[in-house]
Amino acid sequence: MSPGDSDSPYNFAYLDEDTKRMIRRAILKGVAVPGYQVPFASREMPMPYGWGTGGVQVTAACLVPEDRLKVIDQGADDTTNAVSIRKFFERTAGIATTETTTEASLIQTRHRIPETPLTEDQILVYQVPIPEPLRFLEPRETETRKMHALEDYGLMHVKLYEDIARHGAIATSYAYPVRVGDRYVMDPSPIPKFDNPKLSDNAALQLFGAGREQRIYALPPYTKVVSLDFEDHPFQATKAEHDCDLCGASDSYLDEVILDDRGGRMFVCSDTDFCTRRRAAGHVGCLGEPA
Amino acid sequence: MTVALTGAFADPPRDAARAFRGALRALSRPGTIVTLAGAAGPAPLSPAAAALLLTLADATTPLHLAGAHDCAALRDWVRFHCGAPLTGAEDAAFALGTWPALAPLDRYRIGTPDYPDRAATLIVEVEDLTPDGARLSGPGIRGQARLSLPETAAFRANHDLFPLGWDCFLTAGERLAGLPRSTQVEAA
């Protein structure tokens, strides 16, 4: 039985229609109040929490049969999590999939924003473990909710200041807090802070789903997103001081790969599609071989 | 078959998915006009509003029918297809009607400071929907957009409540536009 068949054992995109309506209403309220975390009745999915149950539910609620889905895990299309989620939707929604950023209409991501700029016809869905940016500073939900209501974000600046006092610089390197549209402080999910500038003024709609924590939030296209910082310690989007050893890119986020137990290592693009296409176009890094 | 039983999506999971993507595009890009087809309810319900109800309304979302939309045929249609409890403006998750019928607008839920999402969504049936008229800016809009609105003062007052406030879909025939509370509206 092929997935698109009307006698497929699954409803389109796995979830039942009541659940999809509930998630869809939450997404729309999230879009209306950018950066605010909308509670939703997260369902158990056929995968463990931490594997992207929030992102999967948002994707399921957004997918249409005409979609072409791309799934990345830390930038890679070929890791277990990404392959499993792609297969899940191939089987339950009968949709097409791709590994090419420019071909995808919907991209589910775990902790990266693709290097290739997104377009107005794309939606980026993030998997979020802890949606509340203030959670590690204030464990009580009642209090963090009040802090968001009162726009009381002083504690977050204290945390960044303590980073500077202790390390001489803002040491937070991922899940770096942002302010959305001059209102809500938001956790951009554990993307490297290298990706933070791409959050702002992006042509694509960005949706965030946290399954275990039961929250959905959104960044509409062309929304102003500012990474928190201080005048004398401005935000810096950092990456390894290196070029990609496979494709030679100097402007992409790099993963460090340990090669042996004698200190050997190499740096490669975390975005596999970006790296593959550069190599296909003839770019070669210092450890790469011509394609 | 009576009109109350007809007009639903032919293939509910896929048609509702397409309708939602249209509504999502409209609300996340104010000023963009999308087409929602595949649903039909009794007059005066527009096809776009019918698709929106089928996609978003169910037994957990109290619905307020305003003015001419509060007719027996439409009440029966909503009960059969959505199962949404019909209610007054104050308790509504969705409110449906023409712009004059939906007034006064301060009756609708605007959420609370702790939970701004607990706000109503208005579905406003308008005669025509065109990308001209009032100037829109804010999230979802690159620079500026234009949209024909029934008025601007009420939308401005609603935006002033941000992050509280109701959100709005405008429907004309099969055409749909979205106007969230985050959008700044200025007269043309």
Best mutation site among A8, A31, A119, A215 for testing chain B: the one with the most B CBs within 10 Å? Answer: A31
DSSP state of A174: B
Query: How much of chain A, in percent, has pLDDT values that exceed 70?
Result: 97
Round the average pLDDT of chain A to a whole number and report it: 95
- pLDDT given for residue A289 in this prediction: 84
Q: What is the mean pLDDT of residues A152-167?
A: 95
Amino acid type, A232: D
Identify the active-site residue in A35, A54, A211, A288: A35
- Does A27 reach chain B within 8 Å, measured CB to CB? yes
B182 with A39: Cβ contact below 8 A:
no
- Does A24 reach chain B within 8 Å, measured CB to CB? yes
Please provide residue A115's backbone torsions phi and psi, each rounded to the nearest 5 degrees. -70, -35
Number of domains in chain B: 1
pLDDT at residue A291 tops 70: no
Read off the CATH number of the domain in which B59 is found. 3.40.50.11310
**How close is the nearest chain A Cα to the Cα of B113, in Å?**
5
pLDDT range class, residue A7, cuts 50, 70, 90: low
Q: Which of B17, B28, B119 sits opposite A205 (nearest CB)?
A: B28
pLDDT at residue A2 tops 80: no
Measured over the CA atoms of residue A57, residue A58, residue A59 and residue A60, the dihedral's sign is positive
Round the average pLDDT of chain B to a whole number and report it: 96
Give A59-92 pLDDT, tens digit per residue: 999 999 999 999 999 999 999 999 999 999 999 9
CA B185 → CA A88, A181, B158, distances in Å? 42, 16, 10
- pLDDT given for residue A1 in this prediction: 42
Buried b (16+ CB within 10 A) or exposed e, A119-147: eeebbbbbbbbebbbbeeeeeeeeebbeb
Residues of B in contact with A183 (CB under 8 A): 162-163
pLDDT at residue A3 tops 70: no
C-alpha span between B105 and B158 (Å, rounded): 9
Give B75-131 pLDDT, tens digit per residue: 999 999 999 999 999 999 999 999 999 999 999 999 999 999 999 999 999 999 999
C-alpha span between A267 and A155 (Å, rounded): 36
pLDDT at residue A282 tops 60: yes
Q: What is the mean pLDDT of residues A97-121?
A: 97
A221 with B140: Cβ contact below 8 A:
yes
C-alpha span between B59 and B109 (Å, rounded): 18
Give A172-204 pLDDT, tens digit per residue: 999 999 999 999 999 999 999 999 999 999 999
- pLDDT given for residue B68 in this prediction: 97
A269 is catalytic: yes
- pLDDT given for residue A253 in this prediction: 97
Please provide residue A79's backbone torsions phi and psi, each rounded to the nearest 5 degrees. -95, 165
Residue of B nearest to A40 (CA): B117
B142 with A29: Cβ contact below 8 A:
no
- Does B16 reach chain A within 8 Å, measured CB to CB? yes
Q: Which of B25, B55, B116 sits opposite A36 (nearest CB)?
A: B116
Give B26-70 pLDDT, tens digit per residue: 999 999 999 999 999 999 999 999 999 999 999 999 999 999 999
B14 with A181: Cβ contact below 8 A:
no
Residue A8 exposed, middle or buried by CB count within 10 Å (0-12, 13-18, 19+): middle
pLDDT range class, residue A9, cuts 50, 70, 90: confident
pLDDT range class, residue A290, cuts 50, 70, 90: confident
Buried b (16+ CB within 10 A) or exposed e, B18-32: bbbbbbbbbbbbbbb
State the pTM of this model.
0.96
Residue of A nearest to B57 (CA): A21
pLDDT at residue A5 tops 60: no
Residues of B in contact with A65 (CB under 8 A): 14, 17-18
Give A125-144 pLDDT, tens digit per residue: 999 999 999 999 999 999 99
B182 with A181: Cβ contact below 8 A:
yes
The answer to whether the peptide bond before residue B44 is cis (omega within 30 degrees of 0) is yes
Q: Which of A62, A181, A224 sits opposite B24 (nearest CB)?
A: A62
Residues of B in contact with A13 (CB under 8 A): 13, 17
- Segments forming the whole domain that contains residue B64: 2-186
Residues 6+ apart with CB under 8 A from A271: A72, A75, A101, A112, A114, A115, A116, A252, A253
Residue B5 exposed, middle or buried by CB count within 10 Å (0-12, 13-18, 19+): exposed
